[in-house]
Amino acid sequence: MTKIVHMSDLHIGFANFREDILLNTINKINKLNPEAVVISGDITDNGYYREFVKVKEYLDLLIPPTIVIPGNHDARNIGDEVFEEIIGDRYSTLDLEESNIKIIGLDSSEPDLDHGKIGRLQKRFLEREIKDAEDRNMFIIITVHHHIISIPNTGRERNVLSDAGDVLLLLLENNVNLVLSGHKHVPHVWKMNNTIFSTAGTVSSMKLRGNTHPSYNIIDINDDKVQITLVNNDGSTEVLTPP
Ligand SMILES: [Fe+2]
Ligand SMILES: [Fe+2]
């Protein structure tokens, strides 16, 4: 069994960013000792340099290996360049050799725009990485900030990738196992064919919809079976299953 933690939308720099919640969560994650932590974007609120410096300080407290991608908020104010300077590549992979899992991180952000796009160049990177994982018979996880399929309770839809159709086709044709997104701060799980699409809430901000809590997801992978558990800041948990 492999355990992975998925957290998203830290929004460091936002007036209602809650450092206490983030530090508490980092503490819990370190105790849980997952094989990896996936952080799916909006790590800052405005893409400011000082926000990224702060993010780095928090991320350095995490003991497990992490893969971090940018969100639309991180691409504001040339944050995309600062991301590369302070955090690392905007799209990259993390291979968990022992559990034979490949995590592919994509950058769906566009400078100073809120909508998302993968684009042709990055799609080629994705195709190459999927092929490599298939050749090695690996479990494939993709993380991308904007979700690929609309999710409920998010109001008028204008936030899926502009090239969602092409990306979705590529993922389904290749039986990608799991797709992890953030962006709308609504934890949700869909399943389409053999692919599970899971979104995380905001882990440490009060940018919340309705009566919900800051949260993160724990993912348990057992062979090809996946269980996703939502962990709320108030301590309550819920296993998320696709409808
Ligand atoms: Fe966000
Ligand atoms: Fe976002």
- Please report which confidence band the pLDDT of residue 154 belongs to, taking 50, 70 and 90 as the band edges: confident
**What is the C-alpha to C-alpha distance for residues 70 and 53, in angstroms, rounded to an integer?**
14
Give the Å distance between the CA of 122 and the centre of ligand 1.
Answer: 22
* pLDDT (tens digit per residue) in 14-40: 999 999 999 999 999 999 999 999 999
Ligand nearest to the CA of 44: 1
Tell the CATH topology of 2-240. Answer: Purple Acid Phosphatase; chain A, domain 2 (3.60.21)
Average pLDDT over residues 129-139: 97
CA-to-CA distance for 218 and 48, rounded, in angstroms? 29
Structure tokens at 164: 């969602």
User: By CB neighbour count within 10 A (0-12 exposed, 13-18 middle, 19+ buried), where does 138 fall?
Assistant: buried
Cα of 44 from ligand 1 centre, angstroms: 9
pTM of structure: 0.97
Q: Is 24 exposed, middle or buried (0-12, 13-18, 19+ CB in 10 A)?
A: middle
Which pLDDT score, from 0 to 100, does residue 72 have? Answer: 97
Q: Report CA(56)–ligand 1 centroid distance (Å).
A: 18
2-7 and 36-40: which strand pairing?
Answer: parallel
Please report which confidence band the pLDDT of residue 155 belongs to, taking 50, 70 and 90 as the band edges.
Answer: confident
CA of 182 to the centre of ligand 2 (A): 7
The structural domains of the chain, with segments of one domain joined by +, span 2-240
Q: pLDDT of 170-221, one tens digit each?
A: 999 999 999 999 999 999 999 999 999 999 999 999 999 888 999 999 999 9
With cut-offs at 50, 70 and 90, classify the pLDDT of residue 112: very high
Kindly give the distance from the C-alpha atom of residue 45 to the centroid of ligand 2, in angstroms, as a whole number.
Answer: 9
The alpha carbon of 9 and the centre of ligand 1 are apart by a number of angstroms equal to: 5
Has residue 157 got a pLDDT over 70? no
pLDDT at 56: 98
